[in-house]
Amino acid sequence: MLLEERLAACISISAPVTSIYRWQGKLQKEQEVMLIIKSTQQCYQALETALKSAHPYELPEIIAVSVEQGLPAYLNWLTECTKES
C-alpha cells in the first residue's frame, strides 16, 4: 500500500525481533518485525496516517530519522519514487 500510494520508495523488512517493553503497567515480550521505510519529509504526515490506520497496535512505533547526507543519486531516486505522477 505504501509503495503503491508513493508514500515510500523502499521498505526493508527485518527478521523477527524480540521486543520487551512496558505497556499499560505490565511488562510485555513479543515477537515483532521491524520495517525501515525510506521516504521523504514531504510524505511523512500522509505516511504516518496510513501506518496508524493499517497497524494493529493501539500505539505503533513510528519514528522519523532525519537524513543529513546521502548518495545524491539515491536521494534523487527516493524523491522521484515518492512524487505524485
Structural domain count, the chain: 1
Cα 16 to Cα 25: distance, rounded to the nearest angstrom: 24
Q: Are 62 and 52 in contact (CB under 8 A)?
A: yes
61: domain range? 10-82
Name the region of 6 (left: φ>0; alpha: ψ -120 to 50; beta: rest): left
Is 90 exceeded by the pLDDT of residue 85? no
Q: Are 82 and 8 in contact (CB under 8 A)?
A: yes
Structure confidence by residue, pLDDT tens digits, 32-46: 999 999 999 999 999
Q: Tell me, yes or no, whether 72 lies in a domain.
A: yes
Q: Tell me, yes or no, whether 5 lies in a domain.
A: no
Is 80 exceeded by the pLDDT of residue 81? yes
CATH number of domain containing 72:
3.30.70.120
- What confidence tier does 55 reach under pLDDT thresholds 50, 70, 90? very high
Q: Tell me, yes or no, whether 3 lies in a domain.
A: no
